[in-house]
Amino acid sequence: MDAILLGIDIGTSACKAAAFDPAGRVLAQTAQSYPVSHPRSGWAEQDPEDWWKAVCAALRRLTREGGFAPKQIAGIGVDGQSWSAIAVGGDGSVLCPTPIWMDTRAASICEELRCTVGEERLFSVSGNPLSPSYTLPKVLWYREQLPDVYEKTDKILQSNSFIAFRLTGEMTQDPSQGYGWACWDMARGAWDESLCRDLGLRPSLLPAIAPCSAVIGKVTAEAAAQTGLPEGIPVVAGGLDAACGTLGAGVVHPGETQEQGGQAGGMSICMDVCRADPRLILSAHVVPDRWLLQGGTVGGGGALNWFEREFAEAERRTAAETGSSSFAEIDREAAEIPAGSEGLVFLPYLAGERSPIWDVNAKGVYYGVTFSKTRAHFARACMEGVAYSLRHNLETAQEAGISAGVLRAMGGAANSRFWTQLKADITGRRIEVPGSDTATSLGAAMLAGVGAGIYRDCEDAAARTVQIRRVHEPDPARREAYEAGYRTYRRLYENLKDLMKEDKP
């Protein structure tokens, strides 16, 4: 009887659960959505209980309709979105909604910490500049604004560790999610408790560290009853969604690079040295003794999702009539517009922007609107703007002394041949596409396979599971148009950033 590995992905808009055989083939997959709440300007929060309910529903469907015997499941891995701050009480209850990765409510706390503790000290320990999106400022916001919650909190968990806790009853923290804490010593892979105290943070809030592929416990009887899983399945600590997706794309050696096409966009360059740059994001990889230098934009696939939701009613009608999809129709129409969108340029800063500009006041902008522009121009410019942000991050990494190699694309956006080719043309880099929809949950399942002894290590897991489906080479004929568009893209923000700062939401 072949072993089966489960990967659970806690995304921004939905959880995905997928079952794989040891060769990485998808046996079954399902998804369950949940909402994001924006109760105030700059706030973005979710209820972790919604995640758990979605996971339970997805797993029940998977085990009921997956076509395999649940007793074949040899291990479970969980990955999740970054920078959660899940306040969990001593009885395991969730004490309040968690601010998620795009939440910036703690901006004033960051300014205070820069004055009291100092940006230089924080960066020297964590390898990352302080950002209101990160976990630590959110926890200190609890202390300031929700003191009852702060006092009742036993541990602060991340999205993947919360689901792993619900499955096993064990509270842990994996290394790949440590970078949201300024008190996480990136080089040593350990908490800096002295810095915790200087930050005014109770060290007892920090969970014990568990390696990403370490088995932290087994599915409890209570979790089995809720999920439909058999009791006793080993569960590993798991990790950051971007890092698991990087593993699932086969990026395990220095220089190999993942290109992310999920709700958020960006890239992750694998390194065997811990090298930081304040303009980028440094995290531990889920692969031991590896780090990721990351660039992340809020306007990845989410930017096109916004465009489709607000402006693609005609494409949705056409898709319904033809059996296509609205996104395929957008691709088809955008492909008829020349490279560079005839001067229309888009800044994809729809919720502020992360690397490399780190500006919570950044705004989305369309520039170059004329009577000649059509909806197809706006669609193509949206895609190009996301690709320009990817190029900006890749160039910043190059300036920091870290070169990206061939890009491995993952996420839903990688299903679009048109958009993936556009990214290859704008970055000037070869892009390889493995199983795009399942790379993240596959990475989580690979960690489970290592923990269960099915794979020797992550390198063995990647060699046995990851297959390249297609390749996109940059087209030099489009380079001149994109060079002009990229120059405008870079100048637009520089010329507008002061106005953006004045025009706070």
The 3 state secondary structure assigned to 375-405 is: HHHHHHHHHHHHHHHHHHHHHHHHHCCCCCC
Cβ contact 23:2 at 8 Å: no
pLDDT of residue 190: 96
Q: pTM for the complete prediction?
A: 0.92
| 2.30.29.30, 3.40.50.360, 3.30.420.40, 3.30.390.30: CATH of 301-400+481-502 | 3.30.420.40
**Strand ranges, E, within 90-159:** 98-99, 153-157
Least confident of 50-54, 62-66, 370-374, 485-489: 62-66
Cβ contact 267:259 at 8 Å: yes
Find the distance separating the first CA and the last CA of the chain, reported in whole Å.
58
pLDDT tens for 27-72 read: 999 999 999 999 998 899 999 999 999 999 999 999 999 999 999 9
Token pair 């005839």: residue? 342
pLDDT at 502 over 90: no
pLDDT at 505 over 90: no
Query: Quick one: what percent of the chain has pLDDT higher than 90?
Result: 92
Q: How much is the CA Rg of the chain, to the nearest whole Å?
A: 22
209: Cβ contacts below 8 Å, ≥ 6 apart: 172, 173, 174, 175, 178, 189, 190, 191
The domain 4-250: what is its CATH number?
A: 3.30.420.40
450: Cβ contacts below 8 Å, ≥ 6 apart: 213, 236, 456, 457, 458, 461
- 300-325 mean pLDDT: 96
The residue type at 153: T
pLDDT tens for 92-148 read: 999 999 999 989 999 999 999 999 999 999 999 999 989 899 999 999 999 999 999
Distance CA 59, CA 219 (A): 13
* pLDDT, the chain, mean: 95
Give just the sign of the alpha carbon dihedral 10, 13, 17, 21. Answer: negative
Helix (H) or strand (E) holding 327: helix 326-334
Cβ contact 248:446 at 8 Å: yes
Cβ contact 77:69 at 8 Å: no
Q: Which two tokens stand for residue 171?
A: 């509270």
pLDDT at 504 over 70: no
238 phi, psi to nearest 5 deg: 75, -160
Question: pLDDT tier at 1 (50, 70, 90 boundaries)?
Answer: low
- 175-180 mean pLDDT: 96
- 497-505 mean pLDDT: 84
Least confident of 252-256, 296-300, 389-393: 296-300
CB neighbour burial string for 151-172, b if at least 16 within 10 angstroms, e if fewer: ebbbbbbbbbbbbbbbbbebbb
432: Cβ contacts below 8 Å, ≥ 6 apart: 406, 407, 408, 409, 468, 470, 471, 472
* 4-250 and 301-400+481-502, same CATH topology: yes
pLDDT of residue 64: 93
Cβ contact 436:411 at 8 Å: yes
Eight-state DSSP code of residue 37: B
189: left (phi over 0), alpha (psi -120 to 50) or beta: left
pLDDT of residue 411: 85
Mapping DSSP to helix (H, G, I), strand (E, B) and coil, where does residue 482 land? helix
- What are the domain boundaries of the chain? 4-250, 301-400+481-502
pLDDT of residue 427: 97
Q: Which two tokens stand for residue 365?
A: 């902008």
Picking from 124, 126, 156, the residue whose alpha carbon sits closest to that of residue 140 is 156
Question: pLDDT tier at 437 (50, 70, 90 boundaries)?
Answer: confident
Paired residues of 155 in beta bridges: 88
122: Cβ contacts below 8 Å, ≥ 6 apart: 113, 114, 129, 130, 182, 195
pLDDT at 436 over 80: no
pLDDT tens for 323-355 read: 999 999 999 999 999 999 999 999 999 989 989
Cβ contact 442:18 at 8 Å: yes
Paired residues of 261 in beta bridges: 265
Distance CA 501, CA 261 (A): 28
491: Cβ contacts below 8 Å, ≥ 6 apart: none
CB neighbour burial string for 286-308, b if at least 16 within 10 angstroms, e if fewer: bbeebbbbbbbbbbbbbbbebbb
